[in-house]
A and B are shown apart, each in its own frame.
Chain A
């Protein structure tokens, strides 16, 4: 079992490493978009999938990260990739401030407020808040990122940056799943009262889930800004939030492979069937309706965590 998994991992890594060598820049760019949405999906998955909090405003955290990168880079000429932690922190701080007063709201109300937050952010950006965001034109002239003395320009160069960031994300989020923190989020999703009754500070973990998800979305915002060199409010609409949300729900709430599959389907498939691009919304809608009827847990649902029981207590290992 372990053997088989290791081999699968090596093969996947190998394929992903050489894939862009066989594709034209257009398709490499499609892969880059899939990668960015996959990481955004994984960050939203912490909030929606693991904790069960419906957040339809995730693009606002993405926006805070992207604008932090753009403003600090264009105004102070700080190399854009150095700003990754700053973008994460600013988005996390933003999440802390907006989520704190609303975190106790029941599911559906919370969801509506997150939509509102997303709109407020978008409109604030359009209105050029603090004279820093450039209004509806956005900010342009963001520097190309530099990695070990090499300036990234082509889609292929960005591909490897996104791949690396994605790999780190998957690794860390998997560790998070297998931890006190990750379990606490799941307890809270399963039964909030029982979680409290077991000694878990549910309000704290709801907020923490928002902050962790936002920090990651903020860091992706940085990479997005670096890749585009120009950002504007259009990229951070409610619709973006919906797409990220659909990726999580369609792929599989709480499941890393599920969310990645979700990103491939939601972002990649429309590229394959360009002729049907206009029918994209129709297909999504139908797919979502089908999901809600036949497979509510998503295409690749969350799998039970595996534990190696302490010595002498090995009965029933690996069972469900």
Chain B
């Protein structure tokens, strides 16, 4: 059974085809890497999966249901969570409130419950607070709960984004360059964290430039170049694939 299935996904910006008929599957309980040179279209694929961009063509199935071009919040509530390549936290709000944003889709209170603080609303709010603290503890940020997001170090901001994503209770989390801007120690923590997510039964799809990280954590790798998929397979195969080596070294075709 596949958790996520992308087929013939295509997206152009003006004359530029950023994603060109890309297909790949993500099996449940695996860690999958999406790699490729800068501008290959990786982030665009993520934006298409999460409904931030509308696909020109193609199909995206999640748990066997089409989610292509659904509004983002619906995709999230179906169980896909994401982080952004350029950190997009609510910078002027506390770490806790950032994570509470992730809890939103798990809650129900509407405007009346919120105005009158009904017993149900209070119970739900208490639960959400605990869930949020739990997510912060999971990434190791529980002691930073009441700090403003903007006062956290770059590495911690990345972790906070992951905590916010986890608070939506996803079955698939997609991480766009999660190690970007992290030091070596933080990158190690991230690797451990990805392992912990997997243990929890969360499937991980990630974009990453740090090849050693990708090779270490991913069971399957999809390689994009100029918007098209050029290779797919386990790390050992990808490492030795001549097309991938060519793409990364920028060797000329007629070489």
Report whether B143 and A316 are in contact in the complex, using a CB–CB cutoff of 8 Å: yes
Report whether B133 and A310 are in contact in the complex, using a CB–CB cutoff of 8 Å: yes
B111 interface residue, CB < 8 Å from A?
yes
Nearest B residue (CB) for A211 = B111
Task: Give the interface size bracket for B toward A.
Answer: 35 or more
Given the known A-B contacts A197-B76, A197-B82, A200-B73, are A315 and B142 also in contact in the complex, defined by CB atoms under 8 Å? yes
Report whether B111 and A175 are in contact in the complex, using a CB–CB cutoff of 8 Å: no
Contacts of B50 in A (CB 8 A): 197
B100 interface residue, CB < 8 Å from A?
yes
Report whether B93 and A179 are in contact in the complex, using a CB–CB cutoff of 8 Å: no
With A and B bound together, what is the CA distance between A317 and B143 in angstroms?
A: 9
Report whether A200 and B125 are in contact in the complex, using a CB–CB cutoff of 8 Å: no
With A and B bound together, what is the CA distance between A316 and B142 in angstroms?
A: 10
- How many residues of chain A have a CB within 8 Å of chain B? 39
Interface positions of A from 194 to 218, Cβ below 8 Å from B: 194-203, 208, 212
Contacts of A198 in B (CB 8 A): 76, 101-102, 104-105, 164-165, 168
Report whether A176 and B115 are in contact in the complex, using a CB–CB cutoff of 8 Å: yes
Contacts of B110 in A (CB 8 A): 181
Task: Classify the interface of chain B: helix, strand, loop or mixed.
Answer: helix
With A and B bound together, what is the CA distance between A315 and B137 in angstroms?
A: 12
Nearest B residue (CB) for A297 = B92
A131 interface residue, CB < 8 Å from B?
no
With A and B bound together, what is the CA distance between A199 and B117 in angstroms?
A: 22
A149 interface residue, CB < 8 Å from B?
no
Number of A-B contacts (CB under 8 A): 140
With A and B bound together, what is the CA distance between A183 and B125 in angstroms?
A: 12
With A and B bound together, what is the CA distance between A180 and B73 in angstroms?
A: 15
Interface positions of A from 284 to 320, Cβ below 8 Å from B: 304-305, 307, 309-310, 313, 315-320
Nearest B residue (CB) for A308 = B129
B5 interface residue, CB < 8 Å from A?
no
A38 interface residue, CB < 8 Å from B?
no
Report whether B130 and A183 are in contact in the complex, using a CB–CB cutoff of 8 Å: no
Nearest A residue (CB) for B90 = A190
Report whether A180 and B114 are in contact in the complex, using a CB–CB cutoff of 8 Å: yes
With A and B bound together, what is the CA distance between A175 and B122 in angstroms?
A: 11
Interface positions of B from 78 to 124, Cβ below 8 Å from A: 81-82, 84, 88-94, 96-97, 100-102, 104-105, 107, 109-111, 113-117, 121, 124
Report whether B91 and A190 are in contact in the complex, using a CB–CB cutoff of 8 Å: yes
Choice from B89, B105, B121 contacting A200 with Cβ under 8 Å: B105
Report whether B125 and A191 are in contact in the complex, using a CB–CB cutoff of 8 Å: no
B145 interface residue, CB < 8 Å from A?
yes
Report whether B88 and A194 are in contact in the complex, using a CB–CB cutoff of 8 Å: yes
Contacts of B92 in A (CB 8 A): 190
With A and B bound together, what is the CA distance between A186 and B101 in angstroms?
A: 10
Q: How far is the CB of A218 from chain B (nearest CB, A)?
A: 15
Nearest B residue (CB) for A320 = B148
Interface positions of B from 158 to 210, Cβ below 8 Å from A: 164-165, 168
B72 interface residue, CB < 8 Å from A?
yes
Nearest A residue (CB) for B151 = A320
Given the known A-B contacts A183-B100, A187-B101, A193-B88, are A316 and B147 also in contact in the complex, defined by CB atoms under 8 Å? yes
Choice from A176, A183, A307, A310 contacting B104 with Cβ under 8 Å: A183
With A and B bound together, what is the CA distance between A9 and B105 in angstroms?
A: 36
Nearest B residue (CB) for A196 = B72
A172 interface residue, CB < 8 Å from B?
yes
Contacts of B129 in A (CB 8 A): 307, 309-310
Report whether B145 and A172 are in contact in the complex, using a CB–CB cutoff of 8 Å: no
Can you list 22 residue pairs at the A/B interface with Cβ under 8 Å?
A176-B114, A179-B117, A180-B114, A180-B121, A180-B128, A187-B93, A187-B101, A190-B90, A191-B88, A194-B84, A194-B90, A196-B76, A197-B84, A198-B102, A198-B168, A199-B101, A307-B96, A309-B145, A309-B146, A315-B145, A316-B145, A320-B148
Give residues in B with beta carbon < 8 Å to A: 50, 52, 71-73, 76-77, 81-82, 84, 88-94, 96-97, 100-102, 104-105, 107, 109-111, 113-117, 121, 124-126, 128-130, 133, 137, 142-148, 151, 164-165, 168
Extra pairs beyond A212-B111, A320-B147 (12, CB < 8 Å): A179-B109, A181-B109, A186-B97, A190-B90, A191-B88, A193-B88, A194-B88, A196-B71, A196-B76, A199-B105, A200-B73, A313-B137
